[in-house]
Amino acid sequence: MASRKESGVSSSNTLDSPVKQIQIEGLVVLKIIKHYQEEGQGSEVVQGVLLGLVVEDRLEITNCFPFPQHTEEDADFDEVQYQMEMMRSLRHVNIDHLHVGWYQSTFYGSFVSRALLDSQFSYQHAIEESVVLIYDPIKTAQGSLSLKAYRLTPKLMEICKEKDFSAEGLKKAAVGYENMFEEVPIVIKNSHLISVLLWELEEKSTVPSKHELLSLSSSSSHLEKSLQMLMDRVDDMSQDIVKFNTFSRNTSKQQQQKHQYIQRRQQENTQRQSRGEPPLPEEDISKMFKPPQPPPRMDTLLIAGQINTYCQTVKEFTSQNLGKLFMAEALQGHNS
Amino acid sequence: MVAGSAGRCGDRTDRRTATGMGGVSSAGRCGPCPRGGDTFTGPFPSCRFALFLAAAITPFLSNMSVYGPVVKIHPVVVASIVDSYERRNEGASRVIGTLLGTIDKHSVEVTNCFSVPHNESEDEVAVDMEFAKNMYELHRKVSPSEVIIGWYATGYDITEHSVLIHEYYSREAQNPIHLTVDTALQSGKMSVRAYLSAPMGVPGKTVGVMFTPLSVKYVYYDTECIGIELLQKTRTSPSRTNGLTSDLTQVAGSAAQTQEMLSTVLAYIEDVLAGKVTADNSVGRYLMDLVDKVPMIPAEDFETMLNSNINDLLMVTYLTNLTQTQIALNEKLVIM
């Protein structure tokens, strides 16, 4: 049970997008970590731009630079200008200035939102191979680097292009919450000189390697927080479902009313005909019975996607902890 | 601070001592003075005189304490420097750039850096200062707390040009730090050294600049530690790559590491018992602590604890699976 990894996003074997693998340089990883550490403590989300190039079916990310936070005082701050200037300057020092994506930090795994969808869509529309890197600092602090790369599936791209978020549109494209994002496997690659540097660091560094990963607390705040957010989302979801239910009830009621009205009309018409009077004009039924507004389906999809990611992180966490508990049992078994 | 008297250029048989912040002897050699003649004339830099102390001093350094602020470097800075060295223009033998960070009372913490294009030839050096200013402004927008604290150069020695560049940076920051990263591995390994400049010479007649070394330490944030650990793994793989592993494999990796450490300790103990290695009391005390730390829990108590924890985790897994099934169902009913 612990080892079966249910993929809520399509596995890498069935990727039909132009990017099958992402190669990141160690430098980028360090920069992202540093950016969150220094600037991300207050607000929840830090963002930045990824630079690199595309090689065959691999996307290589070779550098990145952070985006300043949005503050209210900086109303005249021009994001585009900042980006342009930064890229121009980086080009002078021979850093790849090709925009290949963006990164964002997340809070306990909650990143499936409308804003992310829109940003990723505009990126992917402009540059076909772009990805969004989601960095989870809290999970990383627990012992293992949590960095995931996502792209929108082609089906979702189509829907966003049409801007058709209604139920029919989604049904047509057959997009479920599992098909929204596809995860691209990441590989870290370092150049030779950086390897030399890593050897140096290992010699010189006196910081003992932390074994956070082996800490046994199952009731850690991480699990609690994740479950809490999961519950909030499920609440949202149920509200959404209630809305949809009322909508469908209204529609069916309206259908009935329409039906009744038509029947009455027909009856009257036959009566009138039998009496020899001209039949009543056929009124425009649709004007009389305005169909109720269907609730937006996109939100449901997003919430479902978010719930899915929460569930996955929770399951990962529990499987790790079960492993640790069994190890502890083995140790105690030895002792006693 | 005392410097030797103005002597004659060209006779270097006497060793001149200059006590600065390091209290070391100089072994610098003065090349032929461009103005000709045998005496030092004019103030620096017109006489193009600079003492190259670094190369001579370092072997003494490991034994003596250095006065001056401690330089704390984050690994992301050195990785950045190595990266810009790899991307240098054709024909450039080294790269320079600005160091950003924060200054404390006794230490200087370097947290960021960016490279600055420059041209260097035999007799002149040109640094694009506009560029440096622009980049600094851009970086300021992201992290307003970082200030210019110095500059870096790749390469082993401190050259004459370094002195000029250092002068420029003294205008931007008080007491700038100069960092050299030996990317060409001249000394057999990539050494990172830091210097402070101090004026020396006879005031009024001949002045020079001495670079006094400072002690360098690497500091990490917690998450940086974990990131670096992951990057270390790429050292061992032949293609210098490493994928990001998934839950249980990480726990297994950590456990394997601990196992390795335990076997090292065991080997040491065996050696001591067999008399091959003399016993060290402090190590023995650490071992006592280690063994004491393993809690002695009676078997039933441990069983109950283990079972309750396992039950919690199983329940959470069950609930998350349930939630996922629910949203899948919901999707089928509502959207499709």
Tens digit of each residue's pLDDT (9 = 90 or more) over A157-180: 777 777 666 656 666 666 677 777
Confidence of residue A76 (pLDDT cuts 50, 70, 90): low
| Residue of A144, A172, A196, A314 to mutate, testing the B interface (most B Cβ within 10 Å of its Cβ) | A144
pLDDT, tens only, B126-183: 778 888 888 888 888 888 888 888 888 887 777 777 888 888 888 877 778 888 888 7
pLDDT given at position B316 = 85
**Contacts for A273 with CB less than 8 Å, ≥ 6 apart:** A279
Left if phi > 0, otherwise alpha if psi is -120 to 50, otherwise beta: which for B23?
left
Instruction: Tell me which of A252 and B251 has the higher pLDDT.
Output: A252
pLDDT computed for residue A213 by the predictor: 63
Please write the tens of the pLDDT for every residue from B88-99.
Answer: 877 777 888 888
Percent of chain B scored above 70 by pLDDT?
74
Higher pLDDT, B284 or A333: B284
Residue B63 pLDDT > 50, yes or no?
no
- pLDDT of amino acid B238: 52
At A304, list the tokens. Answer: 């479902």
Q: Quick one: pLDDT at residue A221? A: 67
Given an 8 Å threshold on Cβ–Cβ distance, is B143 in contact with A38?
Answer: yes
Mean pLDDT over B66-70 rounds to 69
What integer pLDDT is reported at residue B166 of this predicted model?
83
pLDDT above 60 for A51: yes
Phi first, then psi: what are they for A78, rounded to 5°?
-100, 110
Q: Is residue B58 scored above 70 in pLDDT? A: no
- On the question of pLDDT at B15 being above 50, the answer is no
pLDDT of residue B49: 40
Find, among A218, A144, A193, the residue nearest to B257 by Cα.
A144
More confident position, A307 or B208: A307
The confidence score (pLDDT) of residue B27 equals: 35
Min mean pLDDT across A197-206, A274-283, A317-326, B30-39 is at B30-39
User: Can you read off the two tokens belonging to residue B141?
Assistant: 């927008």
pLDDT number for residue B41: 33
Q: Which residue has the higher pLDDT, B42 or A308?
A: A308
Give the tens place of pLDDT for each residue, B112-128. Answer: 888 888 887 777 777 78
| Higher local confidence (pLDDT), A106 or B5 | A106
Task: Note whether A38 contacts B: Cβ–Cβ < 8 A.
Answer: yes
Report the DSSP beta bridge partners of residue B193.
B180
pLDDT at residue A190 in the model? 79
Q: Say if the Cβ atoms of B243 and A145 lie within 8 Å.
A: no
- Is the per-residue pLDDT at B193 higher than 80? yes
Amino acid occupying residue B22: G
Q: Which of A262-271, B140-149, B273-282 has the lowest mean pLDDT?
A: B273-282
* ipTM score for this prediction: 0.74
Residue B23 CB-density burial (10 A; 0-12 exposed, 13-18 middle, 19+ buried): middle
Q: Which residue has the higher pLDDT, A177 or A51?
A: A51
Average pLDDT over residues A261-289: 76
pLDDT digits (tens, 9 = 90+) for A131-163: 888 888 877 777 677 788 888 888 777 777 776
Q: Does A218 touch chain B (CB under 8 A)?
A: yes
Query: Inter-chain contact A197–B80, Cβ cutoff 8 Å?
Result: no
Of A99, A89, A21, A17, the C-alpha closest to A64 is A99
pLDDT tens per residue across span B225-249: 777 777 777 666 655 555 556 667 7
Q: Where are the beta strands (DSSP E) in chain A?
A: 21-25, 47-55, 58-66, 99-105, 131-135, 147-152, 181-184, 186-189
Do the Cβ atoms of B330 and A324 come within 8 Å?
no
pTM for the whole thing?
Answer: 0.74
- What number is the average pLDDT over the span B21-27? 34
Nearest to B331 among A23, A176, A317 (CB): A176
Paired with B150 in beta bridges are B99, B177
pLDDT band (50, 70, 90) for residue A218: low
Q: How far apart are CA B218 and CA B225, in angstroms?
A: 11
Q: Which residues of B fall within a CB distance of 8 Å from A178? A: 328
> What three-state secondary structure class fits B126?
strand
Interface of A with B in 65-94 (CB under 8 A): 66-68, 77, 82, 85-86, 89, 92-94
Q: Which residues of B37-61 are buried (b: 16+ CB within 10 A; e: fewer)?
A: eeebbeebeebebbbbbbeebeeeb
pLDDT score of A42: 62
Q: Which of A2-6, A30-34, B170-174 is the most confident on average?
A: A30-34
Chain B neighbors of A196, CB-CB under 8 A: 185, 189-190
Mean pLDDT of the residues in chain A: 75
Tell whether the model's pLDDT for residue A296 goes beyond 50.
yes
Question: Does the structure show a pLDDT above 70 at A288?
Answer: no
Who contacts B91 (Cβ-Cβ below 8 Å, separation ≥6)?
none
Q: Tell which wins on pLDDT, B110 or A156.
A: B110
A272 vs A18: which has the higher pLDDT: A272
> Which of A143, A198, A204 faces B235 most closely, judged by CB atoms?
A198
Edge-to-edge strand ranges of the sheet holding A58-66: A181-184, A147-152, A131-135, A99-105, A47-55, A58-66, A21-25, A186-189, B241-243
Residue A7: pLDDT over 70: no
In this predicted structure, the answer to whether residue B205 has a pLDDT above a threshold of 80 is: no
Contacts of A89 in chain B (CB under 8 A): 131, 134-135, 138
Does the structure show a pLDDT above 70 at A247? yes
Distances in whole angstroms, Cα of residue A168 to Cα of each of A80, A244, A248, A296, A305: 36, 14, 14, 11, 19
Question: Nearest CA of chain A to the CA of B242: how many Å?
Answer: 5
Q: What distance in Å separates residue B179's CA from the closest CA in chain A?
A: 15
